[in-house]
């Protein structure tokens, strides 16, 4: 009586029939074959991994991943589908997506389109069924490196391996201005409130805007290259220097613009922390394989407390060059890198991690309260 004939017949075919094949080629020549999903396309990007176990949609739509091919260490992806509620921006930003096991039939009340459908629509190629732990171990031991990913309409891509390797080798991630690509075109206001802040969009995760709106603050999002004058024209009570992709060293000019806003309270997040660091005289450097995940312990040096944080960054602030009027407020408990800085007198502070979470722990949301109290 419970026989579901349609389902029964549909399942009579192999779960992999008619499937496309895909390749991931790392610049050191390592080739990972796998099954293709998402768009049939070829893309290059920096191969990175994240250890977040949930929140794949938040990752995919995080502009900080622009220019990168993202590997999920957690093997089961797509389980609960995709929903507008979990988007951090209007589109996916990764160049390619690497997972162990694709769930093709998501089950969740909020789930709209499936992961593979959305990737197809947004032109993002994906590879699955490969040994993703081997990919991660490679990146861990050799560091992040350029890679090329391709999903083939026909064949297994054997003929294209060489070409893909050449493309991967040619990529120089640190020379590309990704911020320019992901930033908003013109100033836009979000939410209403008694107070207004300006958020400089280097590739903002909308979670940051939502956290401010929730606290009754209007957020004017301005393009990445807005000048101090343009920003001050909105008469903001404070400034948010948000997250974004790429090498902060390319944005020295933006650090200089920030300096001109030091009379206002400033809250830096991720790339914003690095740009403030540069404004404070420090240099930034590239980490071997970055910090990406939702489980990174950070020591709050003032409160002597550990906070579990969401992280997504490949560069860190070098403490050495920080001006005397600045102090390091947070360090990473695992490798000791700088996780937060603050001005000793002025209401300016920044963290390298993501207090807005999405995905990851919400333990640092109090930082928004702290910022709102300053403005």
Partner 1 sequence: MPKRSDVKKVLVIGSGPIVIGQSAEFDYSGSQACASLRQEGVKVVVVNSNPATIQTDKEIADIVYIEPLRADFLERIIAKEKPDGIIATMGGQTGLNLAVELYEKGVLEKYGVELLGTGIEAIEKAEDRGKFRALMKEINEPIPDSIAANTVEEAEGFAKKHPFPLILRPAYTLGGTGGGIARNRPEFEALLELGFTLSPTHQILVEESVLGWGEFEYEMMRDKFDNCITICNMENVDPMGVHTGESVVVAPSQTLSDDEHQILRSAAIKIIRALGIEGGCNIQFALNQKTGEYIVVEVNPRLSRSSALASKATGYPIARVAAKIALGLGLHEIKNAVTKTTPAAFEPALDYCVVKIPRWPFDKIPESSRVIGTQMKSTGETMAIGRTFEEAFGKALRSVEMKKTKVEKQDWERHMTAPTDLRLYAILDALRAGWDRKKISEMTNIHLWFLDRFADYVDVERSLKREVFGREVLLEAKRMGYSDEQIAAVIGQEAEMVRQMRKKHGVLPVYKMVDTCAAEFEAKTPYYYSTYESENESVPSEKRKVLIIGSGPIRIGQGIEFDYCCCHAAFALREMGIESIMVNNNPETVSTDFDTSDRLYFEPLTYEDVMNIIEHERPEGVVVQFGGQTSINLAQKLSMNGVKILGTQMDGIDVAEDREKFKVLLHELGIRQPENGTATNLEEALAVAERIGYPIVVRPSYVIAGRGMMIVYDAAEMKKYIGEAVDVSEKKPVLIDKYIERAIECEIDGVADSEHLFVGGIMEHVERAGVHSGDANNVVPCVRLKKEVQKQILDFSEKIALALETVGAINIQYVVQDDVVFVLEANPRGSRTMPFLSKATGVPLVKLAMQVIMGKKLKDIGAGADMPKMNHYAVKGVVFPFLKLPGSDTVLGPEMKSTGESMGADEQFPRAFMKALLGANLKIPESGGVAISLKDGDKERAAPLAVALQKMGFDVYATPSTAMQLGKDIILLKKIDEGEPNILSEIKKGKIHLVFNTPKKGKVASTDGFRIRRACLEHGIPCITNFEACEALVSAIEHSHGKQQSLERVEDYGMAKKK
Please tell me the count of residues contacting partner 1 according to CB under 8 A: 63
Q: Considering the rule CB under 8 A, would residue 136 count as an interface residue with partner 1?
A: yes
Secondary structure class of 264 (helix, strand, coil): coil
Active site residue 356: yes
Q: Which of 270, 291, 296, 313 is catalytic?
A: 270
H/E element, 55: none
Cβ atoms of 278 and 254 within 8 Å: the answer is no
Residue closer to partner 1 (CB basis): 92 or 275: 92
Q: Tokens for 35?
A: 């099954």
Furthest CA-CA distance within the chain: 78
Q: Considering the rule CB under 8 A, would residue 185 count as an interface residue with partner 1?
A: no
111 vs 360: CA distance, rounded Å:
19
Active site residue 270: yes
Q: Which residue of 295, 321, 328, 346 would you call a contact of partner 1, by CB under 8 A? A: 295
Q: Considering the rule CB under 8 A, would residue 97 count as an interface residue with partner 1?
A: no
Cβ atoms of 315 and 287 within 8 Å: the answer is yes
Q: Considering the rule CB under 8 A, would residue 301 count as an interface residue with partner 1?
A: no
Q: Considering the rule CB under 8 A, would residue 22 count as an interface residue with partner 1?
A: no
Instruction: Tell the residue number behind the tokens 């974004």, with chain if given.
Output: 244
277 vs 350: CA distance, rounded Å:
9
Instruction: Tell the residue number behind the tokens 């990851």, with chain if given.
Output: 360
Active site residue 354: yes
Q: Which residue of 19, 29, 110, 256 would you call a contact of partner 1, by CB under 8 A? A: 110
Q: How many CB atoms lie within 10 A of CB 203?
A: 27
The alpha carbon dihedral of 137, 141, 142, 145 has a sign of positive
Residue closer to partner 1 (CB basis): 121 or 335: 335
Using the 8-state DSSP alphabet, how is residue 91 labeled? S
Q: Which residue of 115, 130, 206, 217 would you call a contact of partner 1, by CB under 8 A? A: 130
Q: How far is the CB of 230 from partner 1 (least distance, A)?
A: 35
Q: Considering the rule CB under 8 A, would residue 10 count as an interface residue with partner 1?
A: no
H/E element, 163: helix 161-170
Query: What residues does 128 pair with on adjacent strands?
Result: 35, 99
Q: Tokens for 288?
A: 């071997």
Q: Considering the rule CB under 8 A, would residue 84 count as an interface residue with partner 1?
A: no
Q: Considering the rule CB under 8 A, would residue 31 count as an interface residue with partner 1?
A: no
Q: Which residue of 358, 364, 367, 371 would you call a contact of partner 1, by CB under 8 A? A: 358
299 vs 348: CA distance, rounded Å:
19
Q: Considering the rule CB under 8 A, would residue 36 count as an interface residue with partner 1?
A: no
305 vs 344: CA distance, rounded Å:
20
Q: Considering the rule CB under 8 A, would residue 235 count as an interface residue with partner 1?
A: no
Q: Considering the rule CB under 8 A, would residue 54 count as an interface residue with partner 1?
A: yes
Q: Which residue of 40, 79, 188, 213 would you call a contact of partner 1, by CB under 8 A? A: 79
Binding region for partner 1 (CB under 8 A): 2-5, 7-8, 11-12, 14-16, 49, 51-55, 57-58, 73-76, 79-80, 83, 85-86, 100-101, 103, 105, 107-110, 130-134, 136-137, 140, 293-297, 299, 304-306, 308, 333-334, 357-363
Residues with a catalytic annotation lie at: 270, 354, 356
């Amino acid at each position: 009586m419970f026989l579901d004939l349609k389902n029964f017949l549909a399942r009579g075919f192999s779960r992999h029939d008619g499937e496309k094949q895909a390749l991931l080629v790392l610049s050191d020549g390592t080739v990972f074959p796998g099954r293709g999903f998402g768009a049939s396309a070829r893309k290059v990007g920096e191969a990175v991994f994240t250890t977040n176990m949930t929140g794949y949609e938040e990752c995919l739509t995080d502009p900080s991943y622009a220019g990168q091919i993202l590997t999920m260490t957690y093997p089961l992806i797509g389980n609960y589908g995709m929903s507008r509620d979990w988007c951090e921006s209007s589109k996916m930003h990764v160049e390619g997506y690497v997972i162990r096991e694709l769930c093709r039939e998501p089950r969740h009340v909020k789930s709209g389109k499936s992961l593979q459908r959305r990737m197809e629509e947004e032109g993002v190629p994906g590879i699955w069924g490969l040994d993703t732990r081997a990919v991660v171990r490679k990146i861990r031991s050799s560091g992040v490196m350029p890679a090329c990913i391709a999903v083939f309409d026909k064949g297994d891509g054997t003929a294209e391996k060489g070409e893909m390797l050449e493309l991967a080798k040619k990529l120089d991630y640190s020379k590309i201005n990704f911020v320019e690509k992901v930033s908003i075109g013109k100033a836009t206001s979000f939410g209403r409130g008694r107070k207004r802040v300006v958020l400089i969009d280097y590739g903002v995760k909308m979670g940051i805007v939502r956290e401010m709106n929730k606290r009754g603050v209007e957020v004017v999002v301005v393009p990445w290259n807005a000048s101090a004058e343009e920003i001050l024209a909105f008469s903001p009570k404070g400034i948010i220097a948000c997250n974004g992709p790429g090498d902060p060293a390319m944005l020295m000019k933006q650090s200089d613009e920030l300096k001109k806003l030091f009379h206002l309270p400033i809250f830096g997040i991720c790339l914003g922390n690095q740009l403030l660091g540069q404004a404070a005289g420090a240099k930034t450097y590239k980490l071997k394989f970055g910090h990406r995940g939702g489980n990174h312990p950070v020591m709050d040096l003032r409160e002597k407390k550990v906070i579990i944080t969401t992280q997504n960054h490949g560069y860190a602030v070098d403490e050495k060059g920080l001006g005397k009027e600045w102090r390091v407020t947070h360090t990473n408990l695992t490798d000791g890198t700088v996780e937060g800085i603050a001005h000793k007198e002025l209401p300016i502070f920044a963290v390298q991690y993501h207090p807005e979470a999405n995905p990851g722990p919400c333990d640092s949301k109090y930082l928004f309260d702290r910022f709102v109290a300053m403005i």
